[in-house]
Structure 1
């Protein structure tokens, strides 16, 4: 009699040092130090993202495989680098700008990036706002009629069930002062099957709805990721792209150009290129601002303006985002303004004084 055969188990998210060892992404010699990292910061690498890793320190692996350096906190680093905590009037809400607010319905992500500015808060223990806390957060939005835009973030809002997402969308739909809703997510590239037809349908609203995709390298935009994004685009929801400038990931002209072109090819409008926020243990990803400005300037004239993101700094302490892109104006010895062309030549602006 034939013995029963156990069906093959589907791939699962890598969450522990043992998982990383079994996948060949770390060595046994690294394991003790990474167990220490695991005491502080969560790990999660879904199968779709793990499949993209060619070597542990390639641009994909570098973003998500823990490193012993994470246990070193530089004096310039801060557990709350952009001041979320001080600007949270009730749990789940951050109010930094007069006309908009963040709604954080959960602090769970499909993928835990090693450079995350909320790494002190997100993780499996972060959980979802319970019913009472969510009602309180929505009531805060309902009573603050000067808020016209809600940015859903977290954690990752697309980790919610389609049912809960639909309930939140219906609540926001009932607030006449809310004109725009943004959802910031890494799900389409990290775990694209999660953005299925049911979730895409849950995002439908009469409000101005935008999906903002966090993507840092061109290889993240796989066929499966593009299919997930199309499920949203098919519902007339535009998709923007935001990236973080990261050492060893997208800090060369070739890598950044490929990332921007891949987004446009997928009908994603590059929106922000973020300067890295100084969260604890992230120094290995830091690219100095001046280097970032030169890098972006090197692509001027090489890529279409449709692919040109705004390079932004979130001023530490919760003072807001400011553009820090390259400056193309110079004051000449004659006191007149000159424009710096992409080829490096200066051209006098006859009507403009410096």
Structure 2
């Protein structure tokens, strides 16, 4: 008996050593991947400089309305607030006539001025690459053909989107709705919102409503609650979701007052967008903590972006950090073919490789679904590595996460 136990233990130790070897490459680079928490001192220094130049107090900085009102939208203001290269300024100057831009003072503080490849800068500030004629469409999802009423987009049998605004805390350079940014900020007309709600009332199969934009959390609590109250009064609406980048671009928006209001409209879910661990700062952790304490589950919808997160180690680190922030990795979206965003697009093979390096190599909770949005509004399509190799009478041939191929018995 003792001999068997010793042999089993030795076998287990050997297996454990083999498993450790499979993630040794990640362990070697894990500590080198920058996160918002690790960069706390640099971010704080940037913040102090920006506050000084804007003559802002700590109370100003922590006020989400101040953050929105003081978004940087002018190149002259930008160069006064952050040490940025002449080359970058020239690129912004070239692109801004065609594509509007804006960044909150908070998100600006995350930029590393001395890093030409700063992932925050790439997402937030215009580039001359946006002007390259590489195809793409302003509306690749054909949202204008899936708008049955008001500000609705409907692509699925039992759920739909209501767009409430075109305003965001920052205008992401990879945004799928850059066509709607327009020249000015505006919340959508209440009359159109009411038409959207009336449509939902009259279509009893709609059980799930997603509020999006722009960013719904740029509305005041009172403005947002009007829509939530009307939706919650519809018996067949089972769940309400809010899609928002504000917990990341302006985390000051997540106040106790907002969470107290949202808590009245359960079941309610919030999906955010974090694309790199550098975006996960102490302020974002505080925001997600408040949302979670209100009983609201949070999911993350990352976009696979070239030069930002198209690396298996970075994506794994991102998903592990998200779980620490009480956020479930939900989707990795393959970047859509939006005009002016070609430089962000990766191959589908890159996305599949990332999924290969997640499944089995980290916990299932840290593995989102990789999604391609089929063009022309045909909906989300999951893309996975091939694990189901073939099927025969009484068996299915499968490939494990380690690449071992086995026949698994199938009930006839």
Partners of 1:124 and 1:197 lie apart in 2 by 32
Q: TM-score, normalization: structure 2?
A: 0.79
Alpha-carbon distance change, 352 to 298 in structure 1, aligned in 2, over 3 angstroms: farther
State the number of aligned residues: 347
**Do the aligned partners of 2:150 and 2:194 also contact (CA within 8 Å) in 1?**
no
**Deviations, residues 154-203 of structure 1 (Å, cap 9, x unaligned):** 10000000111111111111111110101011001110111212222221
SS at match of 1:97: coil
**Bigger-Rg structure (1/2):** 2
SS at match of 1:251: coil
Between 208-217 and 49-58, the greater mean CA deviation after superposition? 49-58
Tell me the CA shift for residue 28 of structure 1. 3.0
Please name the residue that 1:35 is paired with: 93
1:17-28 matches, within 5 Å, as 17-24=75-82, 26-28=84-86
Please name the residue that 1:9 is paired with: 56
Tell me the CA shift for residue 71 of structure 1. 1.4
The reply on whether 1:204 has 2:263 as its aligned counterpart is yes
Between 191-200 and 158-167, the greater mean CA deviation after superposition? 191-200
**Do the aligned partners of 1:313 and 1:321 also contact (CA within 8 Å) in 2?**
yes
Decide which of 350, 355, 362 is 1:303's aligned counterpart: 362
Partners of 2:122 and 2:411 lie apart in 1 by 46
**Deviations, residues 195-238 of structure 1 (Å, cap 9, x unaligned):** 21222222123442101011111121211111111221111111
The reply on whether 1:134 has 2:154 as its aligned counterpart is no
Structure 2: give runs of 5+ residues left out of the alignment: 1-52, 62-69
Alpha-carbon distance change, 51 to 330 in structure 1, aligned in 2, over 3 angstroms: same
Q: TM-score, normalization: structure 1?
A: 0.91
Alpha-carbon distance change, 91 to 83 in structure 1, aligned in 2, over 3 angstroms: same
Tell me the CA shift for residue 25 of structure 1. 5.8
Please name the residue that 1:104 is paired with: 163
Please name the residue that 1:145 is paired with: 204
Decide which of 259, 278, 299 is 1:219's aligned counterpart: 278
Decide which of 131, 134, 138 is 1:71's aligned counterpart: 131
Alpha-carbon distance change, 349 to 65 in structure 1, aligned in 2, over 3 angstroms: same
The reply on whether 1:182 has 2:182 as its aligned counterpart is no
Would you identify which runs of 4 or more consecutive aligned residues in structure 1 move more than 4 Å?
Answer: 332-336
Partners of 1:292 and 1:335 lie apart in 2 by 33
The reply on whether 1:61 has 2:121 as its aligned counterpart is yes
**Do the aligned partners of 2:229 and 2:265 also contact (CA within 8 Å) in 1?**
no
SS at match of 2:299: strand
Decide which of 43, 46, 54 is 2:104's aligned counterpart: 46
Partners of 1:178 and 1:157 lie apart in 2 by 19
Partners of 2:180 and 2:396 lie apart in 1 by 47
Structure 1: give runs of 5+ residues left out of the alignment: 1-5
Please name the residue that 1:3 is paired with: none
Between 245-254 and 309-318, the greater mean CA deviation after superposition? 245-254
